[in-house]
């Protein structure tokens, strides 16, 4: 699996030979389903070439994830009163 439920992801590969314009589309992965043997994500519906798309194959998606945010700041610096004065 490339994505997890709740991930933002983008279409990284074309699904069919003539849909290069779908590459780069950003979607949100809501729920995993299977269409035949293929794992697919239900996404927010969007229109593509006159049709509504509501699911995309996991194999063509890449998740967008940032670096984890630390729970607390551990890098601190002790400052004395003299260094806190602002010159006139």
pLDDT in tens, 25-79: 999 999 999 999 999 999 999 998 899 999 999 999 999 987 666 666 566 666 6
Phi (first) and psi of residue 21, to 5 degrees: -70, -10
Q: Is residue 81 part of a domain?
A: no
Domain containing residue 21: 8-66
The answer on pLDDT for 19 being more than 70 is: no
pTM of the model: 0.69
Q: Is residue 73 part of a domain?
A: no
- The residue among 16 and 84 whose pLDDT is bigger is 16
Q: Is residue 61 part of a domain?
A: yes
Token pair belonging to 31:
């729920």
Beta bridge partners of 63: 9
CA angle 47, 52, 55 (to 5 degrees): 110
Q: Is residue 88 part of a domain?
A: no
Q: Give residue 66's pLDDT.
A: 75
Cα–Cα distance, 58 to 11 (Å, whole number): 9
Into how many domains does the chain fold? 1
């Amino acid at each position: 699996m490339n994505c997890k439920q709740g991930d933002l992801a983008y279409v990284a590969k074309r699904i069919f030979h003539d849909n290069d314009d779908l590459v780069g589309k950003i979607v949100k992965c809501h729920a995993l389903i299977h269409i035949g043997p293929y794992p697919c994500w239900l996404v927010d519906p969007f229109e593509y070439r006159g049709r509504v798309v509501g699911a995309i194959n996991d194999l063509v998606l890449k998740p967008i994830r940032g670096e984890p945010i630390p729970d607390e700041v551990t890098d601190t610096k002790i400052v004395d009163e003299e260094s806190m004065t602002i010159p006139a």
